[in-house]
Chains A and B, each alone.
Chain A
C-alpha cells in the first residue's frame, strides 16, 4: 500500500531477510521491503497500488522460530524478524500452487492472446513448472465477449481479484465482484449480467491492464498480441491517497 502522505511517528525496524540485515518502516509489509531491496518473491494477487488480498499464497515466506508460513504481501515487518524467501520447501509449495492454477482452468497458451506476455507463464517459468502433475479439471467455461472493447475469458482467470479491486478502489465503479464457491467461483460484472450490458462499467480498461493473464483482454487482439501496461497504477494510487 502506498504510504499516506504525512503519517506521524513511523518507526524504523531492523530485520534479516535471506541473511541480509535490512531496515524498514514498521508499516511496511515483507513484500514491500523485499521489492525495495531487489529480493525476488513471486506474487500474483498482490499488485502495488491495490489493497492487499492475500489469496494466491505464492508469496509465502518462512519466519524463523515459527512453522507456519506467512504471506509476504499481508504480513507487516517487525523488529528482529528473520525471514527466508526461497527455501526448498517454499519452492515446492510455489510450484504446486502454479500447477494447480494451470490444472484448474483451460490454459492453452499457444492460442492465447496473452501468450508471451503473461504473468502466469512467467511464474511457471520461475517456479520450474515443466509439466503439471495433477490431472486437469477440464471443466468448460464461457467467454463473455459482449463488451464493445473488452473480452472476459474465464478459462484463463486465476481469481486473483485484481480486476475487482482496481475497479472499486481506483476507478470507483465497482463493476466486478466474485460469485460462487470452490470450483464454481468466478468473477462477474454487475449482478452476473453480460459485461456489455453493465451500467456501471465506464470502459476505462483498468481491469484489463491489471489482469495478470489472458482472462481480460482487448477485443481485436490476435494470438500473443495482448501486452498489458500497468504503469498507471502506482501513479493513480498515490494521487488518490494524497487528495
Chain B
C-alpha cells in the first residue's frame, strides 16, 4: 500500500510551502514535490496602473527582499524612460543592494539555518531555532543580529525606511547623499566586516562535519545563471548574463539582460503556482539551472575585493574541480558574499563622487517595453513590463530567484528523500533534512507565487496503480 508523507508547513521559510513525498509499494520514495499554495497574483493587478507605481507595487511582493524588487523594477522603468542614470545615482543604488544582500544573507544564515548547522538536524525542534542558538552559541547569535542590523541601518540611512524605501525612483534616486550619512554608514562597516570574517572563519571549521549533507543536498549537476561584470567578475546590480554548465564551461556569456528571453523559457506545472523557468536551448525540464550565491560565485572569475577573493579561492577548494555543485554550499557562498558586500560598500562610500548632487535623470516613458534585471540575495531577479502610449501597464512578467531555482529545488528534495527518508522510519531528522535542503536555496515563497489567476489549488496523490489515495483542495 502506498503511503503519503506530507511535511507541512516547512518551518522557517518565508511564506508557506508544502512538500509531498510519494511512497511506492515497498515504502521507498517514488516522487517528491515542492508545492506552492500561496497565491498573490501580482502580475494581474498591476495591469492598468501607471508604470511609476511598479517599484512600490512589486516591492510589496516580499517583505524580505523589497529592495531587490525596488531595484529591478526601477531598472525596468529606467529602460522605459530610455535614460542612463547618473553615475552617483547608480552607485547609491548599488550600496543599497549590497546592504540588502548583507541583511538578507545574515537572516538566512544566522536566523534560519544556523540552528540546523549548530544544533544538528536531529535536535529537538523546540530548541532547534535561533533561541537554541542563543543559548548554545550566544556570541554567534549576537553577531547575526548585529550584522543584520548593520545592513538594515544602511538601507534605512539611504532610503529613510527599512522595509519599503521609496528613495529609489525611475531615473536614479530621489535624494543625494549627505556627508553625515555617508560617514555614519562608513562607521558601521569595520564592525560588520569583523563579524563577517569571524563567522566565515568559524563556519569553515564546521564544513568538514557536513560532508555527508554536502554529498546529498542537491548535488546533481545543473547549469548556473547569474549576472557578471563585463570582465566576468561578481556582480549584483548590472552587467551581463552568464551561464556555466556543471563542468565549468561557459555556455552563454555577456548576454545583455534585456535579451533574457533568449535564454530563459517558463514552463507551467499543474501541481504548483510557481512557474518553472528553464534554459531554452536545453529544453524542459532538461534546462535545469540554479541561481543565487552559489551560482554567482561559480560564474565569477573573481570578486574584485581583497578578502572576499581569498574566501572565494577557499570556496573553490570545496571540490576538486569544476563549479561547486552541492546546494549545501549555498551557505558557504552566502558568507563569502557578505564579506564582499561589506568590502564593496566601503569602496563605494569612499568614492570621491558619491556626494554628487546629480542623482536622478528625468524623462517620461520613451518606449513600450522595459526590462530590469538585478541580483537579489536569492538570485537573479527579472522584471519585464509593457506599457501603452499613456504609460499604463498592460503586461507584466516577473521571474524571481525562487522561480529560477524551482526545478533544482524539486530535484534536490527528491535526492535528499532518496538518501534519508525510509518509509518505515519517520524520525524528525529525516523530515528536517528535507526541509533543510530547501532552506539551502533560501526560497522566499510569498513572492514566488505571483503567476496565475484564480486557479484553485488541488493536489491529487496517486499510487502505482493510478488510484487517487489522497486529495487536497484549496481556494
Residues on A lying within 8 angstroms of B by beta carbon are 110-113, 115, 140, 142-146, 151, 153, 196, 219-225
Contacts and interface: CB of A to CB of B under 8 A. Distances in A.
A113 B390 contact: no
B30 interface: no
B8 to A, nearest CB: 30
18 contacts: A110-B60, A111-B53, A111-B60, A115-B166, A143-B48, A143-B49, A143-B390, A145-B391, A196-B390, A219-B391, A220-B364, A221-B52, A222-B52, A222-B55, A222-B166, A223-B55, A225-B169, A225-B174
A219 B362 CA distance: 11
B170 interface: yes
Contacts of A111: 49, 53, 56-57, 60
Nearest to B49: A143
Interface string B39-60: 0000000001110110111001
Contacts of A115: 166
B58 to A, nearest CB: 9
Contacts of B174: 222, 225
Interface residues of chain A: helix, strand, loop or mixed (majority): loop
Contacts of A144: 390
A152 B49 CA distance: 11
Chain B interface secondary structure, helix, strand, loop or mixed?
Answer: loop
B164 interface: yes
B392 interface: yes
A199 B1 CA distance: 77
Contacts of A220: 52, 362, 364
A78 B183 CA distance: 62
A209 B228 CA distance: 46
Nearest to A153: B50
A145 B415 CA distance: 52
B56 A110 contact: yes
B36 to A, nearest CB: 24
A145 B392 contact: yes
A12 B133 CA distance: 76
A143 B392 contact: yes
A113 B51 CA distance: 12
Given A220-B362, A222-B166, A146 B53 contact: no
Given A110-B164, A111-B56, A111-B57, A145 B390 contact: yes
B246 to A, nearest CB: 42
Given A111-B57, A225-B174, A142 B166 contact: no
Shortest 7 CB-CB distances between A and B: which pairs?
A145-B390, A111-B56, A222-B169, A223-B56, A223-B166, A111-B53, A111-B57
Interface string B167-181: 001100010000000
Given A143-B392, A220-B362, A224-B166, A151 B56 contact: no
Given A110-B56, A110-B164, A146-B390, A222 B48 contact: no
Interface in B352-382: 362, 364
A145 B164 contact: no
Nearest to B54: A111
Interface in B61-103: none
